A and B are shown apart, each in its own frame.
Chain A
Amino acid sequence: MFLKHIDLTTALRPAYLPDEDLLFVQDNVGLYEGKYKLPNHQNGQVYLTSHRICYVDKAEPRKYSVALDLKDVERFEFYGGFLKSSAKITLVPKSTKRVSLQPRSPGLAASPSRSSTSSPAQHQDGPPRVSPVKPPPTSTATWVCTICSFSNPVPSNFDPTTATVHTPLAPCLACGIKPTLTHVLKATISNAASRQPGSPALQSPLPVRPRPATDVSLGPDQTRDPSPRNSDPDASFQCPRCTFLNHPSLLSCEMCGGPLISHDLPAELAPQARTHTESPGPVLNALSPVPFRIESPDSIKLSFRGGGEKIFYERLKSSMSQRKWLLQSAPPIPKASRPTSDAHLNSPTTTGPVTTSSTSTAVVRPKLGGIAGLEHHSQAMRKNNELVIGTAFEDLEALMASAKEIVALAETFARQVKGASGTSTASENALLADSLSQLGLIATKDIVGSSSSAGGSDSLYLSELSRTLAEFLTDDRRGVLKKAGGIMSLVDLWAVFNRARGGVELVSPADFDKAAQLWEKLGLPVRLRTFKSGVKVVQSQDRTDETTMKALLGWLRDLHKSPPEREVPWDWSRFGRGVTARDAAERFGWSIGVAEEELEMAEERGILCREEGIEGLKFWENFIDTGEGKGYKAPPTEPDIIEVLTEAGFL
């Protein structure tokens, strides 16, 4: 079990480690542990980062969000999905105790098998759980005695592939009559074929595939010789379409190209029922009470119900080959310089010689000591700086000289990342990831996966963008909202946000608007507000109209106490004075536009009234609508306005 609970940011996204880069996001993903669905982890977003795979549950993100470190992953496999079975990626954890001796593919293990029902698809699915410590689950096959009809268990050492007429067979437990070999063989095979739960008796890669849950529930007493289980290299799988016997590790028929069906599928289609009947306890509870089950490191499967598995797989592959987590302990300077320099080897616009020297110095440095070492160190630093600055200017010049070339360069980067061509992409990837992380904002259309449902990919992108925005706004280091007095117009935010992106992956106004609309739905701590004029503003969730009005009113009340700067003809101690949007903007640190809107909002709510005069539009405390009787025929003789206000709850 190598899932760990993770912390989420305010925007309900995983909190990233330093240097961690988001590579891909896909929604509508479910988790399996081994063969079984993990309860409460069936619909969420999966974030692939350079270090981890994080699952954030949709329904209860705080409670059921988990992550697994890529460094704990031994290998990962891809299953393309079939019919109703979604595409899956299996992640096999590193065994903490010993390295698995089990061959990866069952087809590699030598042992003759005549099974023609072995499923090559199984190969995608199961092998991770084959562990040397655990013998595969045994047969619960039975043969029915022809004499007394008693159901005898097939002996555990009985192997239909090797059994001959001379194989000793146990007599019937009830009547003591020996069965014929063919009878037992038939029984075993039919058992295997019907695939009753927990009866993988046939020595084919398919049924014998051990499943952790069965391991747990069945216990060791039903052990069975594992050797014959692993099928021979000649084991073949009959294509259901053309009947050609294919090698079991093939996914599609060599002759006709048709998909080779896994016999495992029926079980896949109804996995939930199985979970509960076969092994209700262990799987369900494995999550919290037993965080580490070293003995049987279960594979984790990501089920991509909404598509996107291919990109996820590619990115996972590249991040697994990058092993960025190894860099965490690396000294900072080489770490900083290496990706850049390596990149230069492959990038068309750079020069080679500097690279080798800088990397070599980085390597040599630790060996030196004393003053020479210090000198060497500083020299390496200088070189490194030189390189960084040089490339920076180079880029600038190149940009000025030929934008075309830069575009081509960017395209090659993109191609290398996407294609995952394997050779020497790691450094480019690192460079690209670095530049992305420097932007600080990394939800791009490129990163999020596509959803198969109509318009789904867009919505995922938007929700990610929405979360990114919320994080951007609430980030204390930036203090975007705070600087703007807790409220800023959407247009301003859009400008600030795109500026922060540094001109890369700019967000279109339409997407931005849609993402902002999502805040409320996603329960994020920021709020989009539309004033009656149509101006949209952004503010934190806790800031409501009521608090704003309270602040405004409190301010206006204060004006009753202090005389205005100039002589005013009216009774200022009674009415205070009018304020303009400018005054409010100065007072609360808002922008003028926002101040206007806020004042008008307060007017709309009836706590302010307006005065249009030669000095412009001023807002006053509302002494007009004091809430007294609606009939003017009997006007209140001397309405104590303050009193009425108090009654109305304004004071």
Chain B
Amino acid sequence: MSTPPPPINQPSSSPTPFSFPPEYSFPPFFTRQTNLTTHHAQLIKWASLVLSYCRYHRIFKLSLSGNGTTTTSERDTTELFFNRKINRRLSLPDIREVIDFLRKDNRAEYVTSSSSFSSTNTSATGMDGTPAAAGGGGGGDIVWIYWRTPEEWAALVESWVDATGQRGSVLTVYELVEGDGTRGTEFHGLDQELLLKALNVLVKRGKAQVFGQEDSLGVKFF
């Protein structure tokens, strides 16, 4: 994992629109390439486009069918896979291929109906590119886009805790996400579920402990 690029701490409703790469207006970019080398390059370009798009708009969960996201911002992400200008759309199986490509790199993960995801389920739906089972309640359709992986988020949180000298103190998860104290940090406004994933990383390392109920989760850093 390379270190994340410098924080682009922009508000979600940025006045300057996301600048798409040149390939975005290249019609064949939206067709699955049969040549393996070209296909690989295509996947790389799409993956990087998805990541930078999500980072730009601070999208943590992406809906593949393009019905908006479940993140805090109710942004319409259809434009990511659908270039209206040239009227080209990346088909859903192809999108899944891109997501699978990201998943292999731990940059994406299917969101399962319960927060405790099962990897077998996701891989089954993802690999063959078929639409996810409908019973999952969106499982297989909503994807975590880790433009920063949980580990990276964890590192960010940890360094912030260190920097602010709050080691040993107890913070609520809400505080971390919405509190004034974290304003200005990258994880401010982070999806709660994602933050929990990050905190779980810290818990596993023995650097933190999460306790409390669903609504009032607290975390103590060591």
Residues of A in contact with B (beta carbons under 8 Å apart): 569-571, 574-575, 578, 603-604, 606, 609-613, 618, 620, 622-626, 630-635, 639, 641
Q: Which residue of B lies closest to A637 (CB)?
A: B21
Q: How far is the CA of A142 from the CA of B204 in the complex (A)?
A: 113
**Is B38 within 8 A of A609, CB to CB?**
yes
Q: Are A611 and B41 also in contact (CB < 8 A) when A570-B86, A603-B34, A632-B48 are?
A: no
Q: How far is the CA of A432 from the CA of B41 in the complex (A)?
A: 64
Residues of chain B with a CB closer than 8 A to A574's CB: 22
**Is A624 within 8 A of B27, CB to CB?**
no
The contact sample of 8 A-B pairs, CB cut-off 8 A, is: A575-B26, A624-B28, A624-B41, A624-B45, A625-B41, A632-B45, A633-B2, A635-B21
**Is A633 within 8 A of B48, CB to CB?**
yes
Residues of chain B with a CB closer than 8 A to A630's CB: 44
Residues of chain B with a CB closer than 8 A to A571's CB: 25
Residues of chain A with a CB closer than 8 A to B33's CB: 609-610, 624
Residues of chain A with a CB closer than 8 A to B5's CB: 634
Q: How far is the CA of A603 from the CA of B42 in the complex (A)?
A: 14
- Between B27, B85, B87, the greatest number of chain A beta carbons within 10 A of the residue's beta carbon is seen for B27
**Is A611 within 8 A of B38, CB to CB?**
no
**Is A623 within 8 A of B48, CB to CB?**
no
Instruction: Name A624's contact: one of B25, B38, B52 (CB within 8 Å).
Output: B38
**Is A611 within 8 A of B42, CB to CB?**
no
Query: A409 to chain B: closest CB distance in Å?
Result: 57
Instruction: Name A632's contact: one of B25, B27, B32, B44 (CB within 8 Å).
Output: B44
Query: B51 to chain A: closest CB distance in Å?
Result: 7
Q: How far is the CA of A516 from the CA of B215 in the complex (A)?
A: 78
Residues of chain B with a CB closer than 8 A to A626's CB: 41
Q: How far is the CA of A631 from the CA of B44 in the complex (A)?
A: 7
**Is B30 within 8 A of A611, CB to CB?**
yes
Q: Which residue of B lies closest to A629 (CB)?
A: B44
**Is A569 within 8 A of B85, CB to CB?**
yes
Q: What sequence of 0s and 1s flags, for each residue 36-51 of chain B, a beta carbon within 8 Å of any chain A beta carbon?
A: 0110111011011001
Query: A148 to chain B: closest CB distance in Å?
Result: 95
Residues of chain B with a CB closer than 8 A to A623's CB: 22-23, 26, 28-29
**Is B29 within 8 A of A624, CB to CB?**
yes
Q: Which residue of A lies closest to B29 (CB)?
A: A624
B114 within 8 A of A: no
Q: How far is the CA of A571 from the CA of B24 in the complex (A)?
A: 11
Q: Are A606 and B28 also in contact (CB < 8 A) when A574-B22, A635-B21 are?
A: no
Residues of chain B with a CB closer than 8 A to A610's CB: 28, 31, 33-34
Residues of chain A with a CB closer than 8 A to B44's CB: 630-632
Residues of chain A with a CB closer than 8 A to B28's CB: 578, 609-611, 618, 620, 623-624
Query: A178 to chain B: closest CB distance in Å?
Result: 100
**Is A578 within 8 A of B25, CB to CB?**
no
Q: What sequence of 0s and 1s flags, for each residue 52-96 of chain B, a beta carbon within 8 Å of any chain A beta carbon?
A: 100000000000000000000000000000000111100000000
Q: Which residue of A lies closest to B1 (CB)?
A: A633
B35 within 8 A of A: yes
**Is B87 within 8 A of A569, CB to CB?**
yes
Residues of chain B with a CB closer than 8 A to A635's CB: 21, 45, 48, 52
Residues of chain A with a CB closer than 8 A to B38's CB: 603, 606, 609, 622, 624-625
Residues of chain A with a CB closer than 8 A to B32's CB: 612
Residues of chain A with a CB closer than 8 A to B35's CB: 603-604, 606, 609, 625
Q: How far is the CA of A41 from the CA of B25 in the complex (A)?
A: 68
Q: How far is the CA of A606 from the CA of B34 in the complex (A)?
A: 10
Q: How far is the CA of A417 from the CA of B96 in the complex (A)?
A: 73
Q: Which residue of B lies closest to A623 (CB)?
A: B26
**Is B41 within 8 A of A613, CB to CB?**
no
Residues of chain A with a CB closer than 8 A to B45's CB: 624, 632, 635
Q: Which residue of A lies closest to B43 (CB)?
A: A632
Query: B3 to chain A: closest CB distance in Å?
Result: 10
Residues of chain B with a CB closer than 8 A to A609's CB: 28, 31, 33, 35, 38, 42
Q: How far is the CA of A316 from the CA of B34 in the complex (A)?
A: 60
Query: A251 to chain B: closest CB distance in Å?
Result: 70
**Is A634 within 8 A of B2, CB to CB?**
yes
Q: Which residue of A lies closest to B102 (CB)?
A: A632
Query: B35 to chain A: closest CB distance in Å?
Result: 5
Residues of chain A with a CB closer than 8 A to B2's CB: 631, 633-634
Q: How far is the CA of A625 from the CA of B52 in the complex (A)?
A: 19
Inter-chain pairs besides A570-B85, A625-B38, 14 sampled, C-beta below 8 Å: A569-B25, A570-B27, A604-B35, A609-B31, A610-B31, A610-B34, A611-B31, A612-B32, A623-B22, A624-B41, A632-B44, A633-B48, A634-B2, A641-B22
Residues of chain B with a CB closer than 8 A to A632's CB: 44-45, 47-48, 51
**Is A569 within 8 A of B31, CB to CB?**
no
Instruction: Name B26's contact: one of A570, A603, A604, A639 (CB within 8 Å).
Output: A570
Q: How far is the CA of A43 from the CA of B31 in the complex (A)?
A: 58
Residues of chain A with a CB closer than 8 A to B41's CB: 624-626
Q: What sequence of 0s and 1s flags, for each residue 141-184 of chain B, a beta carbon within 8 Å of any chain A beta carbon?
A: 00000000000000000000000000000000000000000000
Residues of chain B with a CB closer than 8 A to A634's CB: 2, 5
Q: Which residue of A lies closest to B44 (CB)?
A: A632
- Between B2, B32, B41, B86, the greatest number of chain A beta carbons within 10 A of the residue's beta carbon is seen for B41
Q: How far is the CA of A110 from the CA of B213 in the complex (A)?
A: 134
Residues of chain A with a CB closer than 8 A to B86's CB: 569-570
**Is B85 within 8 A of A624, CB to CB?**
no
**Is B22 within 8 A of A633, CB to CB?**
no
Query: B141 to chain A: closest CB distance in Å?
Result: 23
Residues of chain B with a CB closer than 8 A to A575's CB: 25-27
Q: How far is the CA of A626 from the CA of B23 in the complex (A)?
A: 10
**Is A613 within 8 A of B27, CB to CB?**
yes
Nearest 8 pairs of A and B residues by beta carbon: A632-B48, A625-B41, A611-B28, A635-B48, A632-B44, A569-B86, A625-B38, A609-B28
Q: How far is the CA of A623 from the CA of B23 in the complex (A)?
A: 7
Q: How far is the CA of A644 from the CA of B20 in the complex (A)?
A: 19
Instruction: Name A620's contact: one of B21, B26, B40, B42 (CB within 8 Å).
Output: B26
Q: Which residue of A lies closest to B22 (CB)?
A: A641
Q: How far is the CA of A632 from the CA of B2 in the complex (A)?
A: 11
Residues of chain B with a CB closer than 8 A to A620's CB: 26-28
Instruction: Name A578's contact: one of B27, B51, B85, B87 (CB within 8 Å).
Output: B27
Q: How far is the CA of A630 from the CA of B38 in the complex (A)?
A: 12
Q: How far is the CA of A519 from the CA of B16 in the complex (A)?
A: 64
**Is A570 within 8 A of B25, CB to CB?**
yes
Residues of chain A with a CB closer than 8 A to B52's CB: 635
Query: A600 to chain B: closest CB distance in Å?
Result: 8
Q: Are A624 and B23 also in contact (CB < 8 A) when A603-B38, A610-B28, A633-B2 are?
A: yes
Q: How far is the CA of A624 from the CA of B43 in the complex (A)?
A: 9
Q: Which residue of B lies closest to A603 (CB)?
A: B35
Q: How far is the CA of A609 from the CA of B28 in the complex (A)?
A: 7
